[in-house]
Each structure stands twice: as C-alpha cells, then as structure tokens.
Amino acid sequence: MNLLFDVHLDLSMNALEWNRDLTLPINQIRELERGMTDLKGRGENTVNFESMRSGGIGLCVATLIGGCMKPAGPVASWESPSQAWAMTRGQVAYYEAMTELGEMTPVRDLVEFESQLERWSDPLAAAAAKAPIGYITSLEGADSIVTLDHLERSYESGLRALGPAHYGIGRYALGHDKVGGLPGNGRDLIRKMDELGLILDATHLSDGCFYEALDLFEGTIWASHSNCRSLVDDPRQFSDDQLRLLIERGAVIGSVFDGWMMVPGWIRGTSTPESTGVTLEHIVDHIDHICQLAGNARHVGIGSDLDGGFGREQSPRDLDTIADLQKLEGLLSSRGYSEQDIAGIFHGNFIRLISHAWN
C-alpha cells in the first residue's frame, strides 16, 4: 500500500458543523444520521479516521473554514469577520483535541514533517498500530482574518497555507463563481502571506484574482483541490493556460473527487453517480491531462475534498470510503504510469513541494 497524502480534507467542519464524531466507525456515523435532511450528504459520509488509516492516509492538509462571503452558503457562512474568526478558533481547538486523543498530530515544520513520514514509512504497519494522522493546517477562504495581525496569530498557531477565496464575494478575493480581480486588502493579504512564508492555495480564485495573485505572490503555490476545465467546462476548474502557469511556478494540483467536477453535464441536486456513470477512472483522465501538459507526472497529487459538504451521493460510484482511493494505483498503472510516477502522485509531489517551501 502506498502512503497517500490528501491535501484537502474539511475534517473540523464535519466535526463541528455536521456534528460528526470522526473517531466512530463510518457505518455508525451513517446510522446516526439516518433520516436527517438538514445538510447534504447526511448518512452518506465517506471519511473518518479509521477509513483514512485503512487507505494509507497518514498525512493530510486539514482545513479551517469560516467565511463571510455573499451570498451566504448553508455552512461556513457568518455575518461578521469576528464570528468567522471564532469559528476557525473552534476548529483549531478541535484539531488540538484530536491530537490529545492520539488520532492526529500537527505538522508545522520540517522536523515534524520528517518525523511523520518516518512514522508512516510502512503504511500497513502504521494503520495497524493506529498511528496518529499528521495534519498541516490550511485556511479555505480568508474572510475570518479580521486584520493582518490575525494572520500572524494564525501562523503562530500552526497555519501553513491559505486560499484567499471560497465561493461568492469574499473580503479579500472573489470566488471562482464571480468575475473580477483582487481588492486592495486582498493584495495586502498576499504580500503578508509572502512575508510569513505561507503557501498560496490558488483553488477557488476567480480568473481575475488568480492571475493577479500569481503575479504578486513570490512564494510557494499549490492548488489543493482542482480539476481541468477542458474536461469539465466550469469556472471552478482550471483552464489549460492556468494549469501551464501553475506548472511553470512549480505548483502541484490536487485532484478533487466531487462528482460534478469529474464529469461534464452533472446537475447538482439531480444527477447521481449511477445516472452519470462517474467512477475513479474519470479522475485519472484529469490527472493524465495535467501530466500531458507538464510533460511529466510531477505536478499532480490528491486533494480529495471527499468530506467537503457531500458524500457517496456525489462521489465516484466505485468509492464507498476514502480508503478506496488506493484503487488509483491500479488505474494509473493500467494507463502506463510507473511505480515512481504513482508514488509521486500519491504523496511524493506534495512532499517535495513542502520540503522546498519549508527549507
């Protein structure tokens, strides 16, 4: 089993807004949610700590998320920056509580990074031993950064990556569903991120904000959970020009497993995995497209987002839990990808990027 480094999981949002106890067996979580209709994906969740370990996910990027974007969404949306800040502080406390239980362990520097890689050097043994899952903290959408002083405080408490936008009109950037560039305070945020050494997550940025941010930012860039616009024509995906620019900057793009971003024609709320036929094979199409643009397999990884507000009803039909991501090894091999390429996609490419960013 390959070590799998998933660079986008909304674990704390699931715990605090969905009220999911991720230490429970996944079937028990599903049973507890049977009949609930308040949020999408009830009773269909694919992520818990047990399934992460079973899938060799010994390392992840775990998000904080609390926005003030307009229009407001059903979750992670607050009326004021202070409320959003308070929500993210609660999410920090959740990860600290999971660390105390031995379920997780923070990864904030190269020493902790290398220690976690050693701990999970044999994923089967680590999973059997219930070794803690390492997490790097990222902020999805910058609305909760009340002032730039709050960004410094976030860095001091472990934040290591930030995506300025989510959906809609944010305080520092526009989401992919809007048209326009960075406001002045968004440019100030980008400069402060550079100063602190944070990784810029280009995911969710509007096209205008994307190009401005990459022009302004001098540090390390990744796209934690994004697919290819040429395969699924939607502004949520990256165009080939954007992908080429990310590749030129040395970025790695995390492939996302949300059904509507994997196959064209998905109608949210109507389409199903069965009606569209979406399978893990479709994500290999996106992975391969990026590799063909790059001329190598060094710029793509896994950012599953499998707990990002949906469940099995919006996932590949051959995926029951996140552990099924291990099936990608055989799918990639059948496309001619070497063991070295597959190891890079599973973990090596993002490990290389972080090692460079933190060195």
Please give the structure tokens belonging to residue 149: 């002083």
Question: Which pLDDT value is given to residue 269?
Answer: 87
Q: What is the average per-residue pLDDT within 270-279?
A: 97
Q: What is the average per-residue pLDDT within 175-184?
A: 96
Q: From the CA atom positions of the chain, what is the Rg in Å?
A: 19
Please give the structure tokens belonging to residue 306: 């499998």
Burial class (CB in 10 A: 0-12, 13-18, 19+), 135: buried
Question: Which pLDDT value is given to residue 135?
Answer: 99
Confidence of residue 152 (pLDDT cuts 50, 70, 90): very high
Question: pLDDT (tens digit, 9 = 90+) per residue, 44-63?
Answer: 999 999 999 999 999 999 99
Which residues share a beta bridge with 59?
A: 5, 134
Please give the structure tokens belonging to residue 3: 């070590």
What is the chain's percent helix, strand, coil content, to nearest 5?
45, 15, 45
Could you give the count of Cα atoms lying within 13 Å of 70 in the half-sphere of its Cβ?
5
Question: Which pLDDT value is given to residue 13?
Answer: 98
Which of 73-82, 335-344, 345-354 bottoms out in mean pLDDT, i.e. has the lowest?
Answer: 73-82
Is-above-0.85 flag for pTM? yes
Question: Which pLDDT value is given to residue 205?
Answer: 98
Confidence of residue 74 (pLDDT cuts 50, 70, 90): confident
Domains of the chain: 5-358 (3.20.20.140)
Q: What is the average per-residue pLDDT within 149-161?
A: 98
- pLDDT higher than 90, residue 209: yes
* CB-based contact 12:62 (threshold 8 Å): yes
Q: What is the mean pLDDT of the chain?
A: 97
Question: pLDDT (tens digit, 9 = 90+) per residue, 212-246?
Answer: 999 999 999 999 999 999 999 999 999 999 999 99
Question: Which pLDDT value is given to residue 109?
Answer: 98
- pLDDT higher than 90, residue 268: no
Per-residue CA distances from 141 to 64, 176, 228, 320, 355 (Å) = 9, 12, 21, 29, 24
